[in-house]
């Protein structure tokens, strides 16, 4: 009888100890502040210079619309200007927190530009669309040829024979190669006789008893033109 009570006492003791160990275990508290994912800014929208614009000035103010950042992070913008659409040959690259930037570029160039937004966690948007524009070339000055001067025959000369060599002189300050239109005939307002002649002499046939009129128009091939006066001589 005593043995039975001792056994019951041992079993009760084991049960109490087991329950005590289970109740003493601690659990980790729930994480009230999980790490949230940081989002990149939205893609900027280009404003100026517009696509396919010819820019007279080569110092331009580039501008774009602001990007949005859902996390409220500060945004900076990376502006790239390049000579090719792949941006492998860059003309300029700047970083700014503003929505515009002044950039000095080479004249007479075809250029491409784009903008990317970045937050202070180095998360970046995709690049904007690529726009192309042009800067006007350096203006050049083309000087006109000098007015043709009469060499021979002298004005109002009386000449003999059945032909004569007309001779004149003109020059070009830019060193351009000159061509000459010869107007020749018996009319006081002579018609075009020879076009784009390359020397300052020209032989013409004449008939005794006629009075002839002639003039020279000098051209430099770049749009520069000088018109000489009408000269005359008489064939005897």
Instruction: For residue 143, tell me if it sits in a domain.
Output: no
One domain for residues 100 and 158: no
One domain for residues 107 and 53: yes
One domain for residues 122 and 166: no
Instruction: For residue 208, tell me if it sits in a domain.
Output: yes
Instruction: For residue 91, tell me if it sits in a domain.
Output: yes
Q: Which of 107, 135, 163 is the last residue of a domain?
A: 135
Instruction: For residue 24, tell me if it sits in a domain.
Output: no
Residue-level pLDDT at 9 = 54
One domain for residues 71 and 95: yes
Residue-level pLDDT at 12 = 52
One domain for residues 126 and 65: yes
CB 234 within 8 A of CB 221: no
Instruction: For residue 11, tell me if it sits in a domain.
Output: no
One domain for residues 51 and 130: yes
Number of domains in the chain: 2
Instruction: For residue 20, tell me if it sits in a domain.
Output: no
What is the C-alpha separation between 118 and 30, in angstroms, rounded? 34
What is the C-alpha separation between 64 and 117, in angstroms, rounded? 11
One domain for residues 161 and 84: no
Q: Please write down the long-range contacts of 65-70, taking CB distance under 8 Å and 24 or more positions apart.
A: 65/99, 66/99, 67/41, 67/42, 67/43, 67/117, 67/125, 68/41, 68/42, 69/39, 69/40, 69/41, 69/42, 69/117, 69/119, 70/39
In terms of pTM, does the model score above 0.85?
Answer: no
One domain for residues 83 and 129: yes
One domain for residues 110 and 165: no
One domain for residues 160 and 224: yes
Instruction: For residue 220, tell me if it sits in a domain.
Output: yes
One domain for residues 54 and 110: yes
Q: Which of 90, 109, 135 is the last residue of a domain?
A: 135
pLDDT digit string (tens) for the chain, length 236 residues: 444 545 555 455 545 445 444 444 555 555 555 567 889 999 999 999 999 999 988 999 999 999 999 988 999 999 999 999 999 999 999 999 999 999 999 999 999 999 999 998 889 999 999 999 999 887 778 899 999 999 999 999 999 999 999 999 999 998 999 999 999 999 999 999 999 999 999 999 999 999 999 999 999 998 899 999 999 999 99
CATH classification of the domain holding 82: 2.60.40.10
Residue-level pLDDT at 16 = 46
Q: Which of 135, 157, 175 is the last residue of a domain?
A: 135
One domain for residues 55 and 99: yes
What is the C-alpha separation between 166 and 200, in angstroms, rounded? 8
- Tokens 């080479």 -> residue: 106
- State the residue range of the domain holding 121: 45-135
């Amino acid at each position: 009888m005593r043995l039975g009570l001792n056994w019951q006492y041992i079993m009760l003791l084991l049960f109490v100890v087991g329950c005590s160990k289970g109740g003493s275990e601690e659990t980790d508290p729930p994480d009230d502040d999980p790490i949230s994912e940081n989002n990149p800014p939205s893609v900027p929208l280009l404003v100026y210079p517009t696509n396919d614009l010819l820019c007279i000035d080569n110092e331009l103010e580039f501008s774009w619309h602001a990007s949005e950042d859902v996390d409220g992070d500060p945004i900076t913008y990376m502006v790239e200007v390049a000579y090719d659409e792949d941006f492998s040959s860059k003309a300029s690259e700047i970083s700014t927190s503003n929505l515009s930037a002044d950039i000095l570029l080479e004249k007479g160039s075809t250029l491409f530009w784009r903008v990317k937004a970045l937050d202070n966690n180095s998360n970046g948007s995709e690049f904007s669309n690529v726009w192309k524009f042009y800067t006007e070339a350096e203006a050049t000055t083309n000087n006109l040829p000098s007015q043709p001067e009469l060499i021979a025959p002298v004005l109002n000369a009386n000449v003999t024979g059945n032909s004569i060599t007309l001779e004149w002189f003109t020059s070009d300050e830019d060193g351009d190669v000159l061509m000459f239109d010869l107007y020749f005939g018996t009319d006081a307002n002579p018609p075009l006789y020879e076009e784009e002649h390359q020397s300052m002499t020209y032989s013409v046939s004449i008939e005794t008893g006629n009075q002839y009129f002639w003039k020279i128009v000098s051209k430099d091939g770049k749009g520069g033109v000088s018109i000489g006066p009408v000269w005359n001589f008489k064939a005897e």
